[in-house]
Structure 1
Amino acid sequence: MSRTILVTGGGTGIGRAVAHHFAAQGDEVVVTGRRPGPLQETAGGHPGVRPLVCDHTDPESLTALLARLPAHIDVLVNNAGGNTDFDTAGDGAGDLAAYARDFRANLDANLLSAALTTKAVQDRLAPGGAVVHIGSIAADQGAGSYGAAKAGLASWNVELSRTLGPRGITANVVAPGYIADTAFFRDRLTAERRESLVAASAVGRAGSPDDIAGTVAFLASPAARHLTGQVLNVNGGTRTTR
């Protein structure tokens, strides 16, 4: 039976791979994000994928999105986010106002976006459905405000799992390590740093967006109905990347 899937941040990388994975299974997929161009690229050639523009940190944008979403959602994938430090000129170390701004940017992008989106669609989630958040290895290993936001996401998800559990809805976090073929590093990843990230894994290779998509699909499948409130680390056995 076809399901309805909502994938936030579905324009590139992991979000795109997740959307295509579910669409290939015959599900109806809504992909959202702030940039219409990448969303259209995700939907191109995939009749089951519908793009909708939304800023998931903005309550008004989310409210407008609700009017265009289906009445029932089987799976919510909170993928929107990323390390906003890559978008700033500096770290604000000598300026408290700039430091606060940059810190809040990561919290908004990675924690608030997931919380707001889940709250917005919570009543539409179908019994037996699933919520899957994309976390990060940074939650355990540290990466400034980005790591703090992802750690907060994992903690918040524990309470969410208790809230949704009585309705038969699971809530889990998938925490990737280094994933190649994404825009995460904004083209700032040096060859040396990439080699060190790969070398830190037990399997000796970078992860791929499809690795994460497969794990998300498992968490949304009947095989994972007794798995909730958890963080699944999908990092090739990486122990440290420092």
Structure 2
Amino acid sequence: MDALAGRTALVTGASRGIGRAIARRLAREGALVAVHYGRNEAAAQQTRELIVEEGGRAFAVGAELGVPGDIEALYAGLEEGLAAQGTEPCLDILVSNAGISGSARIHEVTPELFDRLFAVNTKSPFFLVQRGLKNLRDGGRIIIISSAATRVAYPRSVVYAMAKGALNTFTLALARELGPRGITVNAVSPGFVETDMNVEKRVTAEATAALAALSVFNRVGQPADIADVVAFLASDASRWITGQCLDASGGSRL
């Protein structure tokens, strides 16, 4: 599998969960992958090791998002890592996946929670792309992980849904802005996916069954389900698709 051979990808939040699956999938297609992590270096190194065991190439880049200086720190680490790989400081694929959850209904939301969710889930992706345009080659791919919570009423996590909804609007504007450079920009909206972030939502068999029932396929999504969609958007096969938000929720709540 070499659809992405010769290309370089940055995947934020790639130490585990959906991000790890995306990093591994892109590497299997031949991309050199920068595995970004916030705090868990050991998990990021595990992702890198899995990629190497599968015959791919990867290196880890650490930078906590949502704090002052986060984006410059990330790109400094990226460029240092690319130099160590003997590669020029350029990107072909930028996947904005890192994010945090935060369940709270309107009367439970604090200014601190609001600011934190928007800092990590909206502000960081915005400036990640802004700064990344210096490195992204013409004809590149930008893929933003949004959420199916943006198309249904989700009052128990209202701020999270708002923060992700802003990314959908961002995707539209970027696609129009970057079209002349041949860069496609698309978002992917997962539904419930089996990850560490969501472990508290499936503590019982009954809870897992209820979550599975949201999908027309009556199962809980897996990270690989999302990674396969991202791999398609990163490939040449998606060259005529831009400005779209692809629902990857298994038909949840149709």
Q: Report the TM-score when normalising by structure 2.
A: 0.85
| Cα pair 2:13 2:19 within 8 Å, conserved | yes
Q: CA deviation at 1:163?
A: 1.4
Unaligned 5+ segments in structure 2 are: 80-88
- How many residues get paired? 232
Tell me if structure 2 keeps the 8 A contact 1:57–1:116: no
**TM-superposed deviation, 1:171:** 0.6
- Rate the CA distance shift 1:187–1:150 in 2: closer, same or farther, 3 A: same
2:47 to 30, 42, 49: 42
The aligned residue for residue 160 of structure 1 is 174
CA 1:186–1:200 in structure 2 vs 1: closer, same or farther (change >3 Å)? closer
In the alignment, does 2:252 pair up with 1:234? no
Per the alignment, residue 185 of structure 1 pairs with: 198
In structure 2, the partner of 1:79 is: 97
Q: Which amino acid aligns with 1:49?
A: A
Query: 2:28 maps to which residue?
Result: 24
Give runs of aligned pairs for residues 61-140 of structure 1, distance below 5 A: 61-70=70-79, 71-85=89-103, 93=107, 99-140=110-151
Give 1:91 deviation, angstroms: 6.7
Identity of aligned residues (%): 35
Asked whether 1:200 is paired with 2:211, we answer no
- When normalised by structure 1's length, the TM-score is 0.89
**Deviation sequence 1:135-177 (CA, Å, 0-9, x none):** 1111112231001111111011111111111100011110001
Asked if the contact 1:111/1:149 (under 8 Å) is kept, the reply is yes
Report the alpha carbon displacement of residue 56 of structure 1 after superposing the two structures with TM: 2.7
Q: Which letter does structure 2 place at the counterpart of 1:76?
A: L
CA contact (8 A) 2:13 2:97 kept: yes
> Within 2, Cα distance between the matches of 1:103 and 1:187?
21
* Preserved CA contact (<8 Å) 2:105 2:158: no
Native 8 Å contact 1:57 1:109 kept in 2:
yes
Cα pair distance change 1:185/1:20, threshold 3 Å? same
Query: Counterpart of 2:84?
Result: none
Provide, for residues 70-128 of structure 1, a one-character-per-residue CA deviation record: whole Å limited to 9, x for no partner.
4210000000002134xxxx77947xxx7111112111121112111111111211111
Q: Is the 8 A contact 2:24 2:50 kept in 1?
A: no
User: What SS is found at the alignment partner of 1:158?
Assistant: helix
Moved more, 220-229 or 5-14: 220-229
RMSD: 1.8
